[in-house]
């Protein structure tokens, strides 16, 4: 019998059920309450958030799904936009609570203690190229197109164990320079709210915001040994501040004329340092490594770092430089661990191409952009966890132990009884023996098994017809 329901309705129900199970399993309602998500009346925050998370998997936008003629949802669009524009909700706390809970309870217990877990920091363009009246809209530089565009810099902090990447926190940065900002902060926003605090953060330096994001993640006890970032944040002052937080850094370096490294009593730029050190002969992938100084901490302690020069596989005559503050780390490990940074690039691609980052809602308030970005992050967390469950058989959990119990329940007596039953069927169907002869043979085998396995009770049912 064929189903009278259209295929897309079946897919919608499957997607809705999957999201509902995720919300129930991870107690999203309790996390929302702890993150200051409260409503005086109307639909609950959990219902609205669950609907918005599911929306991208339905292949419809908000207008099509909430069309009055279809009656697809019990609420109207005003309820959704009030939820997105509320400045009191603490989206950062919600994401940190959710991600840290999944990491500590679902991922870390399944991995070896020696596995290196890392924080990853990077920024990407949050494009609003056609907007004019968006709050804190600014001209930001797009590193891909190498030109300025309208939008924000989405500074993101993530966590990875090389198999799974989970976003922890983010900040939509406008511009520190007032001349680059096309719109300013809305004056009607209550300065005591979380939304106003995020607005003030958006016009700070990205390196200062990076440190705040890292502090927030460490408050929630997210385990990580290193913090990885590319050359856009690789300044000695930033690395020293991270070292003050007892965090080791692994980052890519770029040659800058005003950045010097202390080596054998000299201050050298990266190019001069490479020319000074002795390189390995032949076609070695790691050309050289050297320990340098990058300044002092506030207490006067000298900060040492190792710079590893690696052959650029794209151009054989060029080289790349990686820096780590863990000077005891082998050169090969420095390169291997830094390779984990690529997972955040996959996250950006996935979020923009499939999860509708900066495309789904075109709100003008800063709160709506923060909320829509957090919703995209929740979707990625859900998909990343599902991918982990599909690849790691140990995460099957209770089902694994149920299967083990089933196997243990099949005793030797049950196995022999099943063999005798199959033998009886084979003799009757294939060899076409008389029923009395078959019964005589089965009884004989039963008596022989009894002599071999004396003291067992396996013959209770073996002779029943």
164 is a domain residue: no
- Joined tokens for residue 260: 């010097």
Q: At 327, which helix (H) or strand (E)?
A: none
Instruction: Give the C-alpha separation, 426 to 87, whole Å.
Output: 75
pLDDT of residue 251: 97
Domain harbouring 321, CATH code? 3.90.350.10
Cα-flanking dihedrals φ and ψ of residue 150, to 5°? -85, 135
pLDDT over 60 at 67, yes or no = yes
Q: Establish if 338 belongs to a structural domain.
A: yes
DSSP 245: T
Domain shared by 338 and 416, yes or no: no
Query: DSSP string covering 57-117, please?
Result: GGT--HHHHT-TTTT-SSS-HHHHHHHHH-SS--HHHHHHHHHHHHIIIIIGGGS-TTS--
Return the DSSP state at 125: E
Boundary residue ending a domain (85, 119, 138) = 85
Is there a single domain that holds both residue 314 and residue 423? no
Q: Please list, in sequence order, all residues whose beta carbon lies within 8 angstroms of the beta carbon of residue 186, skipping any fewer than 6 positions away.
A: 135, 365, 366
Residue 151 host element (H or E): strand 147-160
Q: Tens digits of per-residue pLDDT, 151-206?
A: 999 999 999 998 899 999 999 999 999 999 999 999 999 999 999 999 999 999 99
Look at residue 1 and tell me whether its pLDDT is greater than 90: no
- Please list, residue by residue across 23-33, b when 16 or more beta carbons sit within 10 angstroms of its beta carbon and e when fewer do: beebebbebbe
Residue 10's pLDDT is 56
Q: Check residue 455 and give its pLDDT.
A: 52
- The model carries a pTM of 0.81
Per-residue pLDDT band for 113 (boundaries 50, 70, 90) equals: confident
Answer yes or no: are the C-beta atoms of 73 and 65 closer than 8 Å: yes
> Three-class SS of residue 155?
strand
251 located within any domain: yes
Question: What's the confidence (pLDDT) of residue 71?
Answer: 57
Residues 231 and 339 in one domain: yes
Same domain, 323 and 423: no
Q: Kindly state whether residues 240 and 317 are assigned to the same domain.
A: yes
Count CB neighbours of 83 within 10 A: 23
pLDDT at 93 over 60: yes
147 inside domain: no
The string of DSSP letters for 294-324 reads EEE-TTSPEEEEEEEEEE-SSSTT-EEEEEE
Region 384-392 average pLDDT: 84
Question: Of the candidates 85, 100, 115, which is a domain's last residue?
Answer: 85
For 11-41, what is each residue's pLDDT tens digit?
667 778 889 999 999 999 999 999 999 987 8
> Across the strands, what pairs with 141?
148
Residue 399 — pLDDT band, cuts 50, 70, 90? low
Distance CA 164, CA 273 (A): 36
Q: Does 34 reside within a domain?
A: yes
Q: What pLDDT digit, counting tens, does each position of 121-139 carry?
A: 999 999 999 999 999 999 9
In a domain, 264, yes or no: yes
Inside any domain, residue 187: no
- Report the pLDDT value the prediction gives residue 297, as an integer from 0 to 100: 87
Which range of residues forms the domain containing residue 77? 7-85
Query: Is 139 a member of any domain?
Result: no
Q: Using the predicted structure, report yes or no on whether residue 116 has a pLDDT greater than 90.
A: yes
Domain limit, last residue, from 51, 85, 119: 85
Domains contained in the chain, number: 3
SS3 362: coil
For 451-464, write each residue's pLDDT tens digit.
766 554 444 444 44
* Tally: H helices and E strands in the chain: 16, 11
pLDDT tens readout for residues 242-292: 999 899 999 999 999 999 999 999 999 999 999 999 988 878 889 999 999
Q: Is the pLDDT score of 433 beyond 90?
A: no
463: helix, coil or strand? coil
Q: What is the average pLDDT score of the chain? A: 86
pLDDT digits (tens, 9 = 90+) for 321-359: 999 999 999 999 999 999 999 999 999 999 999 999 988
Compute how many other C-beta atoms are within 10 angstroms of the C-beta atom of residue 457: 7
């Amino acid at each position: 019998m064929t189903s009278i329901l259209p295929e897309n309705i079946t897919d919608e129900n499957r997607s809705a059920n999957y999201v509902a199970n995720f919300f129930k399993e991870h107690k999203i309602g309790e996390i929302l309450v702890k993150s200051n998500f409260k409503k005086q009346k109307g639909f609950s925050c959990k219902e609205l958030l669950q609907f918005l998370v599911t929306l991208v998997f339905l292949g419809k936008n908000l207008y099509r799904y909430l069309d009055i003629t279809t009656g697809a949802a019990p609420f109207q669009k005003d309820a959704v936009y009030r939820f997105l524009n509320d400045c009191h909700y603490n989206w950062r706390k919600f994401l940190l609570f959710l991600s840290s809970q999944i990491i500590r309870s679902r991922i870390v217990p399944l991995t070896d203690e020696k596995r290196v877990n890392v924080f990853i920091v990077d920024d990407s363009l949050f494009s609003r190229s056609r907007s004019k009246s968006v709050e804190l809209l600014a001209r930001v530089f797009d590193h891909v197109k190498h030109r300025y565009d309208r939008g924000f810099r989405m500074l993101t902090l993530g966590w990875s164990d090389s198999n799974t990447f989970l976003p922890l926190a983010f900040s939509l940065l406008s511009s520190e320079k007032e001349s680059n900002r096309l719109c300013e902060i809305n004056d009607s926003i209550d300065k005591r709210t979380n939304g106003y605090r995020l607005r003030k953060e958006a016009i700070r330096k990205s390196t200062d915001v990076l440190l705040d994001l890292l502090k927030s993640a460490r408050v929630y006890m997210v385990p990580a040994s290193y913090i990885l970032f590319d050359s856009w944040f690789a300044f000695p002052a930033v690395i020293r501040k991270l070292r003050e937080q007892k965090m080791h850094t692994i980052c890519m370096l770029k040659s800058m004329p005003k950045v010097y490294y202390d080596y054998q009593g000299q201050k050298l730029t990266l190019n001069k340092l490479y020319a000074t050190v002795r390189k390995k002969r032949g076609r070695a992938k790691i050309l050289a490594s050297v320990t340098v100084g990058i300044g002092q901490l506030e207490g006067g302690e000298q900060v040492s770092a190792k710079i590893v020069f690696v052959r650029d596989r794209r151009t054989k005559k060029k080289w790349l430089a990686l820096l780590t503050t863990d000077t005891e780390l082998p050169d090969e490990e420095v390169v291997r661990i830094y390779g984990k940074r690529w997972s955040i690039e996959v996250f950006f691609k996935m979020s923009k191409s499939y999860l509708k980052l900066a495309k789904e809602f075109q709100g003008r308030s800063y709160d709506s952009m923060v909320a829509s970005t957090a919703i995209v992050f929740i979707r990625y967390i859900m998909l990343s966890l599902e991918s982990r469950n599909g690849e790691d058989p140990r995460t099957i959990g209770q089902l694994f132990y149920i299967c083990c119990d089933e196997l243990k329940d099949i005793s030797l007596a049950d196995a022999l009884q099943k063999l005798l039953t199959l033998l009886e069927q084979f003799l009757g169907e294939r060899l076409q023996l008389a029923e009395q002869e078959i019964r005589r043979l089965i009884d004989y085998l039963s008596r022989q098994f009894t002599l071999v396995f004396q003291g067992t009770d396996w013959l209770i049912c073996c002779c029943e017809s």
